[in-house]
Amino acid sequence: MNIIKECQQQKGGKLVKIKKNLAMLLIFTVVIATSIGGCSTKKDTADLDTNQHLTISLNAEPESLDPSRAVDSYSSIVIAECQEALTRCEQDETGKDIIKAAGAKSWEVSKDGLAWTFKLRDNLWSDGKEVAAEDYKYGIMRTLDPSNGGRYSGLLNSIKGAEEYVSGKGKAEDVGVKAIDDKTLVFTLKSPCPYFINLTYFKLFTPQRKDYVEKYGEKFGADAESIPSSGPFVLKSWKHKSTIELEKNNYYWDKDSVKLSKLSYKILEDEQGRMDEILNGTVDIGTVEKKEWKDKFDSLGKFNIIGGYEPVTDYIFFNTKDNLFKNVKIRKAFSAAINREEYVKTLFPRTRVAAYGFIPPSLQIGEDDFRTIAGSEPLKTLLSNNTDVKGLFKEGLKELKLAQEGAGGSGGTNGGSSGGSSGVSSKIISDDPAKVTITLTAVGTNAKQKQIQEYFQQELQKNLGCQVKIDYVDGGAYLDKLKRGDFQATAMAWTGDYNDPMTFFEIWTSKSMMNFTFWTNKTYEDNINKAASTTDQAVRLAAFKENEDIIVNQEAVCVPLDYRQRSQYQRNYVKGYMSTLFGSGFECKYAYTSGRK
Amino acid sequence: MVISFWIIITITFVLMHKIPGDPLTSLPKNLPDSIKTNYYIKYGLEKPLLQQYGIYIKNILCGNLGESLIYPGREVKDIIREYSPASITLGIQATVLGFLAGTILGVFAALKKNKLSDRIINIIALLGISIPSFVVAALLQYMFSVKYQFFPVTGYSGFSYTILPTLALSIPIFAAYGRFVRTSSLEVLNKEYILTARAKGIKDSSLIFKHIIRNGIIPAITILGMQLANVLAGSFVIENIFAIPGLGTHFVLSVVNRDYSVIMGLTIFYSALYMGSLLLSDLLYVIADPRIKINGRSKGRPTGTMAEEL
């Protein structure tokens, strides 16, 4: 039934939209934000419309507006406008993400890089009470509190004692966050974390009110009245699954920069409704994904398009315990068999770009774009070294067959157990590609997913000469299946959490919860440790570059497919709106309209 | 009643826990085990299934449907209270509209059998049944909200917001009833008593109202009960397209998200709705067909069992 299809489509969408979270620039020593308000204050505001309001479409209902318990990206968007985190993620004139002082007016780092001291600004809650350092600390501690589930606590792991506390092994007192006085907050880290400042504008670093949490208990964050505001806007009403309305917060420290008197979010889960709302003008800003809609909107000439890359890479990975994919030549042949340019042209015109590395363009290391300064792209090396794809595949099969014959008889059971419990292809390997079957595992069964998988199926059958089957799995059961090792190869999308390559590379380590490949590599782990413990960006860059080459080229466990591009359409009259890469992604603090009819 | 509820609850509970995955596996991220354990303990999911079942039954008896596992702080009964009015309003509007329009056109088509207007009505009904409602909804939305801005595109805050969704929902209902009533009216028209009535020189209007409609819609009432429960439950597709905060989307997404308490709560709510609408259609029989009433009374049967008799 189409009901099922529809909802799986949603699920598929959710998987990749995961969390558009944190981060940016590396500011290492003392930063004092002087130019508050940034570029927007310079703009001529004389022609402002009298009625300042803005409506944005959200693709799904936020789970909750409780910063400690919501784990979706939609809640981050709304929370960013209602709460003042230590910093805010904004854009400079060129559209690059920058970190602005917000809840904190300045911060400094100790020489060893372990102690971060934040001096807080004088700011008031929307009920007139002062925002204190204790409120920030309370927020952090609530996120880590095991009784709250701590589903998003992973991002706080760099704080000393945090991991222990959330897993019940440590005590609350040992967590490295202290409110020295009303206006001073100190974090003690486990080890130097070069991107710690990139975490501070995420919702976990917003203040929370203990009295409200205690008053509303479980219902804190579920309704508008339970949430006092510390940011540019106050939550006025929340009609679940329909609309969220915010109003300007007159207690906000920087209220002069806020020009909108009303900011609304319409929750529009269906694409048709969303497009019609944008077309009709009742929604001012929305994301447009499909080419046909883009063409339509472009022809109207009433929109500004916000493009650029999303911090998202689509890729395929293998189960390296699998009898077939334990062989590196097979993995390389698989990777080389897909023509990325054809792939994006056929399936994602105007929305995605072929990927030849794992780190998407626009992700920064220090203040530089990683892709630009890394230079080489590892997949290109792999492609140029392996032009005879079919031959490579056959070679791989031959090696496997030899190994199997060598291990035969005496080592039969041995080989079986070391080959893993998965046994997806436990049959005897044939060196004839036509007798080999590869199974691709896919989430959901919506039309797009089918197109994508069938595309891979065709390409692989054509270029490798083998048989390809597709196994469609329901979203709820997918991760379970991966964890059990019950798959051969599957495609996934990874969205960076913060603006540092580490957010992409850490998923391939043996500790990572997202590494389903059973693949580990000592050089790789060493490089990660090196990059995590130094603040020297040159050393980190070298380590990351080598790691990208390992996963994409040398070991070929990761098959990059494409980088996603964003396309938010905003009406011409919307000004001062910032579509940041990280942070909320929909920053409206400085937004206003001029010339709305 | 109580036994049917108990059976429904038990079957749903078992099935729900038998499908792979839980509220955490539907998250896109894989979490460390210690955090998973925290979460399971918080919602009592670490206990043996039988114990969870016992706790759930006990809670239901105390009128407690539990809290959503995906949306923290939202109780299931609040979700039902908050979202059901929209679904129910739309459902009733669509059913009434579909039923009335279907009856009128059905009778009309029967009277004009094999004439041009009959054929046209037939084609409309066929289209109504075969065109999926989301296509109709998308067309209506584009035509009447974007091209000609008569109605709001999406949302739900007043009568004008319900017009397009009601239309979209009622079209398949109207088409089904139209066909149904036409067939049964034709049957009635061939009856001898119609001939008698005509011979007696009865007026056309009273022939239609007293004889044809009254007899023609009886079979249609049979499906009304089921249809009503179906529509009241909310339509995932229509609610999604018009961004209506209704229960339909909640029900489907709760299964996808493995939001156990919401699945259970809504199943119970729907069962109650379904039983209620079956009862209602039985009562409507009595109004439409007095024979049933007399028959039922004389045998001393409660009205609730009449559906079986038919």
Long-range pairs of B211-216 with CB within 8 A, sequence gap ≥ 24: B212/B107, B212/B110, B212/B111, B212/B185, B212/B188, B213/B103, B213/B107, B213/B185, B214/B288, B214/B289, B215/B184, B215/B185, B215/B188, B215/B289, B216/B103, B216/B106, B216/B107, B216/B110, B216/B181, B216/B184, B216/B185, B216/B187, B216/B188
Among B74, B100, B93, B15, CA closest to B262: B74
Give the count of alpha carbons within 13 A of B202, CB side only: 17
**Structure confidence at residue B304 (pLDDT):** 41
Residues of A within 8 A of B22 (CB-CB) are 476
Residue A497 pLDDT class (50, 70, 90 cuts): confident
In this prediction, the answer to ipTM > 0.90 reads no
Please give the average per-residue pLDDT across A73-81, as a whole number.
92
- A489 in Cβ contact with A511 (< 8 Å): no
**Amino acid found at A235:** L
Q: What is the pLDDT of residues B65-77, one digit of tens each?
A: 888 888 888 889 8
Q: What is the pLDDT of residues B112-133, one digit of tens each?
A: 888 898 899 889 888 988 888 8
Residues of A within 8 A of B74 (CB-CB) are 219, 222, 240
Residue A284 pLDDT class (50, 70, 90 cuts): very high
- Which among B35, B141, B245 has CB closest to A166? B35
| Cβ pair A63:B70 closer than 8 A | yes
Among A175-179, A313-317, B305-309, name the one with the lowest average pLDDT. Answer: B305-309
Closest CA in chain A for residue B75: A219
| Cβ pair B71:A222 closer than 8 A | yes
- A45 in Cβ contact with A254 (< 8 Å): no
- Which among B132, B142, B244 has CB closest to A2? B132
- Which among A146, A154, A480 has CB closest to B20? A480
Rounded distance between C-alpha atoms, residue B124 and residue B131, angstroms: 10
**Structure confidence at residue A21 (pLDDT):** 38
| Cβ pair A153:B73 closer than 8 A | no
Residue A43 pLDDT class (50, 70, 90 cuts): very low
Quickly list H helices, A152-289: 162-166, 210-216, 271-280
Size of interface A-B (CB pairs under 8 A): 180
- Which among B25, B30, B243 has CB closest to A476? B25
**Shortest CA gap B108–chain A (Å):** 34
First CA to last CA distance, chain A: 43
Residues of A within 8 A of B257 (CB-CB) are 476
| Cβ pair B243:A476 closer than 8 A | no
Residues of B within 8 A of A220 (CB-CB) are 73
Residue A45 pLDDT class (50, 70, 90 cuts): low
The answer, yes or no, to whether residue B301 has pLDDT greater than 70, is no
Rounded distance between C-alpha atoms, residue A428 and residue A401, angstroms: 8
**Shortest CA gap A536–chain B (Å):** 30
| Cβ pair B154:A480 closer than 8 A | no
Residue of A3, A21, A65, A215 to mutate when probing chain B, most B C-beta within 10 A: A3
Q: How much of chain A, in percent, has pLDDT values that exceed 70?
A: 88
Q: How much of chain B, in percent, has pLDDT values that exceed 70?
A: 91
**Structure confidence at residue B302 (pLDDT):** 44
Please give the average per-residue pLDDT across B11-22, as a whole number.
86
Residue of A270, A471, A518 to mutate when probing chain B, most B C-beta within 10 A: A270
* DSSP letter, residue A589: T
**Amino acid found at B249:** T
A422/A317: higher pLDDT = A317
Residue B26 pLDDT class (50, 70, 90 cuts): low
Residue A4 pLDDT class (50, 70, 90 cuts): very low
**Amino acid found at A594:** S
Closest CA in chain B for residue A279: B146
How many of the other CB atoms lie within 10 Å of CB of A393? 26
pLDDT, chain A, mean: 85
Residues of A within 8 A of B82 (CB-CB) are 240
Among A215, A217, A210, A267, CA closest to A238: A267
Rounded distance between C-alpha atoms, residue A112 and residue A189, angstroms: 10
The answer, yes or no, to whether residue B212 has pLDDT greater than 60, is yes
- Our CA dihedral for A149, A151, A156, A162, rounded to 10 degrees, sits at 30
A366/A565: higher pLDDT = A565
Place of tokens 């379904």: B274
| Cβ pair A272:B243 closer than 8 A | no
How many of the other CB atoms lie within 10 Å of CB of B179? 21
* DSSP letter, residue A262: E
| Cβ pair B25:A147 closer than 8 A | no
| Cβ pair A280:B146 closer than 8 A | yes
Please give the average per-residue pLDDT across A414-440, as a whole number.
63
**Structure confidence at residue B288 (pLDDT):** 74
Residue B228 pLDDT class (50, 70, 90 cuts): confident
Closest CA in chain A for residue B244: A242
**Structure confidence at residue B181 (pLDDT):** 87
Please give the average per-residue pLDDT across B298-310, as a whole number.
41
* Residue A245, strand partner residues: A237, A264
Q: What are phi and psi of B180, to 5 degrees?
A: -60, -50
Among A313, A6, A399, A264, CA closest to B256: A6
Q: For chain B, give the number of residues.
A: 310
**Cβ within 8 Å of residue B100, ≥6 positions away:** none
How many of the other CB atoms lie within 10 Å of CB of B194? 16
Q: H-helix or E-strand containing A563?
A: strand A558-565
**Shortest CA gap A45–chain B (Å):** 31
The answer, yes or no, to whether residue A46 has pLDDT greater than 70, is no
**Structure confidence at residue B30 (pLDDT):** 66
* CA dihedral sign, ordered B116, B121, B122, B127: positive
| Cβ pair A480:B242 closer than 8 A | no
| Cβ pair B27:A151 closer than 8 A | yes
Residues of A within 8 A of B16 (CB-CB) are none
**Structure confidence at residue B252 (pLDDT):** 85
**Structure confidence at residue A423 (pLDDT):** 42
DSSP state string for B180-198: HHHHHHHHHHTSHHHHHHH
| Cβ pair B42:A2 closer than 8 A | no
Residue of B22, B33, B35 to mutate when probing chain A, most A C-beta within 10 A: B35
The answer, yes or no, to whether residue A489 has pLDDT greater than 60, is yes
| Cβ pair A15:B240 closer than 8 A | no
| Cβ pair A149:B39 closer than 8 A | yes
**Structure confidence at residue B28 (pLDDT):** 57
CA angle (A441, A443, A448) in 5-degree steps: 105
The packing angle between helices A475-484 and A2-17, to 10°, is 60
Residues of A within 8 A of B233 (CB-CB) are none
Q: What are phi and psi of A579, to 5 degrees?
A: -100, 85
DSSP state string for A135-154: HHHHHHHHHH-GGG--TTGG
Rounded distance between C-alpha atoms, residue A517 and residue A244, angstroms: 41
Residue A246, classed as helix, strand or coil, is strand
Exposure string of A394-412, with b = 16+ CB inside 10 Å and e = fewer, is bbbbebbeebbeeeeeeee
**Amino acid found at B301:** R
Closest CA in chain B for residue A515: B30
The answer, yes or no, to whether residue A2 has pLDDT greater than 60, is no
* Residue A122 CA, distance from chain mean position: 32
* Residue B54, strand partner residues: none
| Cβ pair A7:B152 closer than 8 A | no
- Which among B28, B72, B237 has CB closest to A221? B72
Residues of B within 8 A of A266 (CB-CB) are 154-155, 243
Tokens of A65: 């507006």
Rounded distance between C-alpha atoms, residue A286 and residue A278, angstroms: 7
Q: Do β-strands A352-354 and A558-565 pair in parallel, antiparallel, or remain unpaired?
A: antiparallel
**Shortest CA gap A108–chain B (Å):** 32
Rounded distance between C-alpha atoms, residue A153 and residue B38, angstroms: 12
| Cβ pair B28:A15 closer than 8 A | yes
Among A548, A475, A472, A483, CA closest to A514: A483
- Which among B82, B243, B255 has CB closest to A269? B243
| Cβ pair A63:B26 closer than 8 A | no
Please give the average per-residue pLDDT across A119-123, as a whole number.
95
Q: What is the pLDDT of residues B126-185, one digit of tens each?
A: 898 888 888 888 899 888 888 888 888 888 888 888 899 999 989 988 888 888 888 888
